[in-house]
Structure 1
Amino acid sequence: MQRIAPALREDNVPLDLISLIKTILAATKEISFRVGQGQLSGVLGSTLDENIQGEIQKQLDVVSNQLFKDITLESGFVKAISSEEEETSVAGHETGKYIVSFDPLDGSSNIEINSLIGTIFSIMEAPEGMKAADPDMFKQPGTKQVCAGYVLYGPSTVLALTTGKGTHFYTLDKTHGSYMLTERNVKIPEDTAEFAINMSNQRSWQQPMKNYIADLLLGKEGPREKNFNMRWIAAMVGDVHRLLVRGGIFTYPSDNRDPNKPYKLRLMYEANPMSFLVEQAGGLSVTSTGRIMEIEPTDIHQRVEVILGSKNEVEKCLSYYK
């Protein structure tokens, strides 16, 4: 098995980008250790503060964000970073070539129950002629990503990574602290009988999504003529990892619970990097109206509808909106 740097060199990834990826992964190793320590780490439980998303922060959210931010900015390769936990972007080095967006700890509600959580990140090249403190440099479509990945802190710590030449899995070998290539060119099956959605919001969905899920639930007796299983982990890293491994469809559709917030997931920190990984594995990642990675962002904390996974099932879901 290869370590990550030789594997990336085989894909002709620039050396400075490899160095930045290794820096990001150094932060995830430290987060993985803190997560693995559980209550022994002394960082479980909630703080009294809300983040910019209006969510109560967990102590591990704050620790993970600070670790990721400090280690990444110290690398010298980064012009600025943008975190789901920060109100605006944070300046790095004016000469830095790259900008990094990240969700330091996806699935925070799973911390206390010792279930799946993870880190999601996205790397783009910094536009020329913009100051490091200017958050507008992050307003680029997902097609501009040069790298995206997530680290899943489960029974093993697994990295899913793409630099635009396929999606690959790496596993953290804790005996010597290196991410080792364990599966190259992951492919999502085009068909599936598994879906992931938060059914508690069903009453608030648009009618096309209600109709689609209703037909899945009818099973063999319904128009789809086969039984479907539902899975829901409440952490996007876990749900996306499952469909990368064995197929499926994951969706967080628009709903009308709050007219000012019809969408749940963040474009820059969740939807774009996951879309890059899914597309590079042969899947689709869309809203009900178009490709996620073609959306032109208007705000660094913009939210978006998400439908992604096995190609044929995503297309079937979209057909309900036509």
Structure 2
Amino acid sequence: MLTVFEKLKHIAQEIDKAIKNEDLGYSENQNATGDEQLKLDVASDAIIEHTLSDVSLVKQIISEEKEEIMPINPDGKYTICYDPLDGSSIVDVNFSVGSIFGIYEGDNLTGRGLRAAAYVVYGPRLELVVATRGHRPRHLRSGTRGLFSTRSIVQLKEKGKLNAPGGTQKYWSPTHKAFIDSLFAEGYRLRYSGGMVPDLHQILLKGGGLFSYPGASDRPKGKLRMLFEALPFALIFEAAGGEAIDEQGRRLLDLEPEHIHDTTPCFFGSRYEIAKMREAYGL
């Protein structure tokens, strides 16, 4: 596992350089779920594929930007599922964006098979958060010589102050809108950039709050993909002392996707916010 984490550090450095120096325009392609690809999406995907292709521990890789599984080493121990550049649609306005990685045991592409998770934040500073089952997440930062050092151990408080509600409000259910409004009525602060990584990173480092992306009339099964986004962050939030559930109250880590690009409604938060969500939804 340490070998994989070291490779993720190298990937972070290379994608950070690409963001700062390469073309920000759209390519002529779409990804596996029909989203237009930026040239940076394609470049980031290529960096990760190239870097992981010679790691003996890696059995196969699965990218949000590709339709199929890519075999690497049949004797490898892990499948790595990743979103090469989450939030790429806001990179042209210089907002922070990120990469997300889920490290799964063999072919067990479920929440139960997820052994570790990590994400990178490409912002004013280059930062990495890594978590393995049974251990608190570690927050690392790249220094002047490109070396990552641990800045803190991530731990959520029982209750936070931030509210990051995803999706288009006109498509929300009345239940969800009433719930979100109730948090603002309690004094929660709106924090939503359009990037999953920077928004969840802020909640984790500020000690708590809620990030939600519900099922809605335009996206009944939600927008966020299980293997690349929802499950890796679920492991990180639980490891930090929080919770991650769907709109039926099920742990995201208990879900079993039927297809590698399946999506799910999701709620990530401190224990207080998740309890409030359950109450609002009648769970």
Q: 1:249, 1:308 within 8 Å by CA — same for their partners in 2?
A: yes
Whole-angstrom CA distance in 2 between matches of 1:319 and 1:121: 32
Shift of 1:153: 0.5
Consecutive unaligned residues of structure 2, counting only runs of 5 or more, are: none
What is the correspondence of 1:216-255 to structure 2 with a 5 Å cutoff? 216-217=183-184, 219=185, 226-246=186-206, 247-255=208-216
Say whether the 8 Å CA contact 2:56–2:73 is kept in structure 1.
yes
Q: Distance in 2 between matches of 1:20 and 1:228?
A: 38
Provide the rounded CA distance (Å) in 2 between the counterparts of 1:108 and 1:91.
26
List gaps (5 residues or longer) in structure 1.
1-16, 127-136, 220-225
Mean Cα displacement is larger for which, 201-210 or 291-300? 201-210
**Residues 22, 40 of structure 2: 8 Å contact kept:** no
Q: Distance in 2 between matches of 1:179 and 1:193?
A: 29
| Deviation string, structure 1 residues 108-139 (Cα, Å, up to 9, x no partner) | 1111001110110011221xxxxxxxxxx35x
C-alpha distance in 2 between matches for 1:94 and 1:71: 17
Supply the distance in 1 between the matched residues of 2:74 and 2:222 (Cα, whole angstroms). 34
1:286 is aligned, of 237, 241, 245, to 245
Equivalent AA in structure 2 for residue 312 of structure 1 = Y
Question: Conserved in 1, the CA contact under 8 Å of 2:30 and 2:37?
Answer: yes
Q: How high is the TM-score relative to the length of structure 1?
A: 0.84
Are 2:165 and 2:180, in contact at CA under 8 Å, matched by a contact in 1? Answer: no
- Say if 2:215 and 2:247, in contact at 8 Å, map to a contact too: no
Identical columns (%): 30
Aligned residue in 1 for 2:217: 256
Deviations 1:212-270 (A, max 9, x none): 123234x2xxxxxx322111011111011011011110000000115xx5310000000
- Residue 164 of structure 2 aligns with an amino acid whose one-letter code is A
Q: Distance in 1 between matches of 2:92 and 2:190?
A: 23
Q: Which residue of 1 aligns with 2:166?
A: 198
Aligned length: 279
For normalisation by structure 2, the TM-score amounts to 0.95
Alpha carbons 2:18, 2:43 under 8 Å: kept: no
Instruction: Give the letter for the 1:256 counterpart.
Output: S
Deviations 1:134-181 (A, max 9, x none): xxx35x3213222101000011111111012111100011x3222111
What amino acid is aligned across from residue 123 of structure 1 in structure 2?
I
Q: For residue 188 of structure 1, report the CA deviation from its aligned partner.
A: 1.0
1:315 paired with 2:275, answer: yes
Larger Rg: 1
CA distance in 1, matches of 2:181, 2:201: 25
